[in-house]
């Protein structure tokens, strides 16, 4: 592997804003540690803090809590326009 072409890869704490959970992982964002806030982790060390809106803790795909939001009958409008049709309607 060539030297000096890869970004710095180190530990960071990621906080999910939607649910408040945090976890320690490794990321290339550690290279910007001077511009990130820091947090003291459970092991007593201080790590850069990366705040995100969604992680695997809150994303519906990973939590299994898929919700279909139907505002103003959008699903019904779609089904009326493009939905499945029976054999009688196609003739």
pLDDT at residue 8 tops 80:
yes
Phi/psi class of residue 77: alpha, beta or left (left: φ > 0; alpha: ψ in -120 to 50)? alpha
Whole-model pTM?
0.62
- Residue 44 has a pLDDT of 96
Domain contains 56? yes
For residues 60 and 57, what is the distance between their CA atoms, to the nearest angstrom? 9
Q: Classify the C-alpha dihedral 36-51-42-24 as positive or negative.
A: negative
In terms of pLDDT, which residue wins out, 46 or 80?
46
Res 82: pLDDT: 86
Is residue 88 situated within a structural domain? Answer: no
pLDDT at 88: 62
Based on the structure, what is the number of domains in the chain?
1
Domain membership flag for residue 91:
no
Residue 4 lies in a domain: no
Residue 27 lies in a domain: yes
pLDDT digits (tens, 9 = 90+) for 30-49: 999 999 999 999 999 999 99
Q: What is the CA radius of gyration of the chain?
A: 23
Q: Is residue 5 part of a domain?
A: no
For 67, the domain range is 10-83
φ and ψ at 17, to 5 degrees? -65, -30
């Amino acid at each position: 592997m060539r030297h000096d072409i890869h970004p710095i890869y180190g530990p960071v704490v990621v906080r999910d804003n939607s649910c408040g959970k945090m976890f320690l992982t490794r990321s290339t964002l550690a290279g910007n540690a001077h511009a990130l806030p820091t947090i003291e982790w459970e092991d007593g060390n201080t790590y850069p803090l990366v705040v995100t809106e969604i992680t695997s803790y809150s994303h519906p795909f990973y939590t299994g809590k898929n919700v279909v939001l139907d505002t103003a009958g959008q699903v019904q409008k779609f089904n009326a326009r493009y939905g499945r049709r029976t054999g009688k309607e196609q003739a």
